Copies of this chain bind each other. A is one copy, B any other.
């Protein structure tokens, strides 16, 4: 069992009310992989530039992360700079340099083409489609996207959904894509377009999912203080897919367990800058928070 993830490995500069944190390891594939590797094997396909600091590669060196598909190309690494509002309810992109990511055309190495799951992180849906044309019958194809592609590549994205088993969206994206208002109507619209599993993320409230017609609602783990929400969505997706990749049939119960994992990993992610909380995360601290979240949900008693 292994998840092939295609997305970005980037250098993030993050500004919050507390300070500025330059050139931190970021990117969707990075957060996703560190989260998913808690449960299963992960294979990254992405590209960085020649300026990418080798010490940062060390962060991704993990017994369950395969970096053979991470190419170093002539040019510079994808850099993103963003500023969060004091309440973290909005963020502004203040700098963007695509570098080698501008010409990124994912080529899946032959050894990685047979993966049990594929996670298409947020990139151009044409490239997400290109990835699917190179892999052989994964058990689970999961797609993430953002408002930009919904607005500018809507038809391509909807075609991609037909080939997908699971889509992750946040609430604003779901509303934009489906033009529906209620969670139930959004879920029904999305499932009718292809994916049998739909997950709508609701930030600090939690997430709602559907599988086989059943609805599953999981709260966010209540953190005391958000320090940096960058990567929380990708960490959540990694937590979810890590569990789903190892599971047999994806039942309502399995999806709930996966979403609880995602919620817990996402909660650690926001408590520090960049990937640092995911690096530090011990099994004991993860399990303690998972048990606590189950209790908050009423799934276990003290």
Contacts and interface: CB of A to CB of B under 8 A. Distances in A.
Given A205-B202, A219-B217, A185 B224 contact: yes
A132 interface: no
Given A205-B202, A205-B205, A205-B206, A223 B297 contact: no
A194 interface: no
A183 B203 CA distance: 13
A299 interface: yes
Given A202-B205, A206-B205, A253-B301, A184 B219 contact: no
Contacts of A296: 215-217
In the complex, which range does the number of interface residues on chain A fall in?
20 to 34
Interface string A232-275: 00000000000000000000110010000000000000000000
A295 B224 contact: no
Contact of A298 (B182, B184, B226, B297): B297
Contacts of A297: 217, 297-298
A299 B181 CA distance: 26
Contact of A299 (B202, B208, B252, B299): B299
A111 interface: no
* Copies held by the complex: 2
Nearest to A223: B182
Contacts of A204: 182-183
A176 to B, nearest CB: 13
A215 B222 contact: yes
B295 A214 contact: yes
Contact of A184 (B183, B185, B224, B256): B224
Interface string A182-222: 11110000000000000000101110100000111111001
A193 to B, nearest CB: 19
Contacts of A218: 298
Contacts of A216: 296, 298
A255 to B, nearest CB: 10
Interface of A: 87, 181-185, 202, 204-206, 208, 214-219, 222-226, 252-253, 256, 295-299, 301-302
28 contacts: A181-B225, A181-B226, A182-B204, A182-B224, A182-B226, A183-B204, A184-B222, A185-B224, A202-B205, A205-B205, A205-B206, A206-B206, A206-B217, A208-B219, A214-B295, A214-B302, A215-B222, A215-B296, A217-B219, A217-B297, A218-B298, A219-B219, A252-B302, A256-B298, A297-B297, A297-B298, A298-B299, A299-B299
